[in-house]
Amino acid sequence: MKTLFDNYIEVDMDTCKYQKDGFEYTAIVKEVGNDYLMVKPLSRTNFKDIYENNFDTTFQVENLHETSFDDIKLEIWMDGRGCDNSAIGVMGWYEPYTLLSA
């Protein structure tokens, strides 16, 4: 069965970033559905005076529906799997979700 990102995302290994309520979240992807991502935040920051991570804060699992991806500025971790991106030594980066949309 084809999923939202056509099996590119490795569940429980890949991360994403998104913005919500004035915070930027970094989260691990727990599940990929046909029209949603289930994620578990690892950290959040407002880039001013708040930085929380999963060592000091208990984050709840969230469902990010496909219709909200633009609003929350969803980005997916990219590490150049399956291609020669000529970025030798680069571990990876975040890219807009549209780069992976099936």
| Pairing between β-strand 36-45 and β-strand 23-32 as defined by DSSP bridges | antiparallel
Split at pLDDT 50, 70, 90, the class of 92 is confident
Kindly report the pTM of this predicted structure. Answer: 0.84
Report the 10 Å Cβ neighbour count for 95: 12
Give the model's pLDDT for residue 69.
96
Split at pLDDT 50, 70, 90, the class of 95 is confident
| Residue among 21, 30, 97, 15 at smallest CA distance from 63 | 30
| Residue among 6, 10, 2, 14 at smallest CA distance from 74 | 14
| Pairing between β-strand 62-65 and β-strand 51-53 as defined by DSSP bridges | unpaired
State pLDDT tens for residues 74-89. Answer: 999 887 655 555 555 5
Indicate the residue type of 83.
Answer: C
State pLDDT tens for residues 4-49. Answer: 777 788 899 899 999 999 999 999 999 999 899 999 999 999 999 9
